[in-house]
Amino acid sequence: MDLQVLRSFRAVAEGATVTEAAAAAHLTQPALSRALNRLESEVGAELLQRVGRVLRPTPAGRVFKEYVDTVLDGYDRGRRAVAEVVDPDTGVVSLAFLHTLGTWLVPRLVTGFRQRFAAVRFELHQADENGLAEHLLDSTADLIITGKDPGHPLITWRRLLVEPLWLAVPARHRLAQRRRVRLAEVAAEQFIVLKPGYGLRSVTETLCHQAGFSPLVGFEGEEVETLRGLVAAGLGVSLMPAAPEVTAAHETGPDLPVRYLALTDVRAARDIGVARLTARTLPPAARRFVDHALHATAGTGGAPRPA
């Protein structure tokens, strides 16, 4: 059984046309069609059926694809591992991370790592908390950087740092000139939050409940920068990390449209950690990246505190 045929079968089962799969495999369309027919004969079942102008997996095809994914992912990981044994300074780090960490933590870690291992490549994915665990379980990532321990029996999580969270208010908000407030002081205001499934959303709800109220949701977004922009526009308040320009300058500055206030009645912070599948041996490059991340964040409490 040809691995390339399995790759073509997977591509077609995931929605590619036979023409597209054939081009990717450097085959003619008739040649790939014959190869797929031979694959069905070897398996002993119809794997693909025509629906309109495209092929879709049959029930047997969907079952078979799960095993094909395992075979191909294992083979690719094996090739990577061998390549890294031959040349330990090369390799690929397949990393998935929270959207909110793409503005500061992940770029810093990747940049610092590549200063030592310039030949290592990165495959990067973004997802919410729920999607990150799936990246590990379906082998699309070797590592994830997430806001909390996934709590999955197959996943090992290690804390990297504690990231402080702030109450973000518009520059003309009634509390904007304060440095510290109680979260309960904005209980009646609209909150700009991330959609359910995002770690920051669950942290926001937990902290509001600890302060004695349920947040009044005015908008649900998918990116912290969107939330920040809506807060600046005066549409509500939000719990979030300080903006990158704030943490870089160690101060809020009089001209910034959002003020970040420390909270005194709740512990406004979240854990950030790195996780991997417990039973899977990490490739050398991924192991080095974990060591680098742990060293780079050792002793830190998160982003610098706004003035």
DSSP string, the chain: --HHHHHHHHHHHTT--HHHHHHHTT--HHHHHHHHHHHHHHHTS--EEEETTEEEE-HHHHHHHHHHHHHHHHHHHHHHHHHHHHSTT--EEEEEEEGGGTTTHHHHHHHHHHHH-TT-EEEEEEE-HHHHHHHHHTTS-SEEEESS----TTEEEEEEEEEE-EEEEETTSTTTT-SEE-GGGGTTSEEEEEPTTSHHHHHHHHHHHHTTS--EEEEEES-HHHHHHHHHTTS-BEEEPPPHHHHHHTS--TT-SEEEEEESSS--EEEEEEEEETTSPPPHHHHHHHHHHHHHTTT--SSPPP-
pLDDT tens for each residue of 68-117: 988 888 888 788 777 766 666 778 899 999 887 887 899 999 999 999 99
Looking at the fold, whether 285 and 229 belong to one and the same domain comes out as no
Instruction: Pick the last residue of a domain from 57, 83, 109.
Output: 83
> How many CB atoms neighbour CB 175 within 10 A?
18
pLDDT tens for each residue of 291-307: 999 999 986 554 444 43
Residue 301 domain flag:
no
Looking at the fold, whether 228 and 245 belong to one and the same domain comes out as yes
Looking at the fold, whether 275 and 145 belong to one and the same domain comes out as yes
pLDDT of residue 140: 84
pLDDT of residue 1: 58
Looking at the fold, whether 10 and 52 belong to one and the same domain comes out as yes
**Owning domain of residue 59:** 3-83
pLDDT of residue 307: 36
Looking at the fold, whether 173 and 242 belong to one and the same domain comes out as yes
Looking at the fold, whether 172 and 242 belong to one and the same domain comes out as yes
Residue 306 domain flag:
no
Tokens of 186: 């904005």
- State the CATH number of the domain containing residue 224: 3.40.190.10
Looking at the fold, whether 78 and 16 belong to one and the same domain comes out as yes
Q: Which residues contact 76 (CB under 8 A, 6 or more apart)?
A: none
pLDDT of residue 36: 92
Query: Which residues does the chain have with pLDDT short of 50?
Result: 247-253, 302-307
pLDDT of residue 302: 46
Report d(CA 3, CA 236) in Å as an integer: 54
Polymer length in residues for the chain: 307
Task: Categorise residue 159: left if φ over 0, alpha if ψ from -120 to 50, beta otherwise.
Answer: beta
Pairing of strands 258-263, 166-170: antiparallel
Q: Count up the domains in the chain and report the number.
A: 3
3-state DSSP helix/strand/coil percent for the chain, to nearest 5? 40, 25, 35
Please give the C-alpha separations between residue 147 and each of 228, 229, 253, in angstroms, as whole numbers.
19, 22, 28
Instruction: State the average pLDDT for the chain.
Output: 87
Residue 307 domain flag:
no
Looking at the fold, whether 279 and 138 belong to one and the same domain comes out as yes
Cross-sheet strand order for the sheet of 180-181: 180-181, 258-263, 166-170, 238-240
What separation, in Å, do the N-terminal and C-terminal C-alpha atoms of the chain show? 64
pLDDT of residue 244: 56
Contact 159, 272 (CB under 8 A): yes
